[in-house]
Amino acid sequence: EVQLVESGGVVVQPGGSLRLSCAASGFTFDDYTMHWVRQAPGKGLEWVSLITWDGTTSYYTDSVKGRFTISRDNSNNSLYLQMNSLRTEDTALYYCTKDLLYRAFDLGFDSWGQGTLVTVSS
C-alpha cells in the first residue's frame, strides 16, 4: 500500500523559511515523479512543483519560483520542499503527491498524503 506522510508544517513569520518533508513507502520511489500541491483554507487546489524520478528536472508554479526548491533523496524515499521568503499567501495545506506515470510526468496524482499545514502570519 502506498503511503505518503508529510511533516514540517508550522506557523512562521512572513519572510521566514521552512522545509517540508514527505516520507514515501509502498512503491519504488525512484521510478516516479513527485509533486507538491497546496490548498489555501477554504480555497481550491494549486499545483506547486514537481521533481522527476531521477531528480534531474523540476518545475514550479510562477508564484513560488525563486523562493521554493523541491528536492528528493531516493536513498531514503523522501521528498522535500524548501520554502524561503514566505508570504502570507503561502498559507495552505501542502500535499505530497505521487505521479501516476512510470518515469514520466503529468497531472495525474494517484496517491496523496494527508497534508501538512503551513501558516505564514506575524
Partner 1 sequence: QSVLTQPPSASGTPGQRVTISCSGSSSNIGANYVYWYQQLPGTAPKLLIYRNNQRPSGVPDRFSGSKSGTSASLAISGLRSEDEADYYCATWDGGLGGIFGGGTKLTVL
Residue 67 CA: distances (Å) to CA of 56, 86, 90, 107: 19, 8, 11, 22
Q: Is 59 in the site for partner 1 (CB under 8 A)?
A: yes
Residue whose CB is less far from partner 1, 10 or 107:
107
Question: What nine digits make up the cell of 56?
Answer: 534531474
Cα-based distances in Å from 1 to 26, 66, 89, 111? 5, 35, 34, 10
In angstroms, what is the minimal distance from the CB of 46 to partner 1? 6
Please report which residue ranges of the chain form alpha helices under DSSP H. Answer: none
d(CA 104, CA 52): 7
Stretch that binds partner 1, among 21-29, 44-52, 68-76, 78-86 (CB under 8 A): 44-52
Nearer to partner 1, 16 or 58 (CB): 58
CB nearer to partner 1: give 16 or 23.
23
User: Which one of residues 29, 72, 109, 116 is an interface residue with partner 1 (CB under 8 A)?
Assistant: 109
- Point out which span in 21-29, 43-51, 68-76, 77-85 binds partner 1 (CB under 8 A): 43-51
CA angle 78, 101, 47 (to 5 degrees): 65
Interface with partner 1 (CB under 8 A), residue total 22
Cα separation, 94 vs 107, in Å, equals: 16
Binding interface with partner 1 (CB under 8 A): 35, 37, 44-47, 50, 59-62, 95, 100, 106-110, 112-115
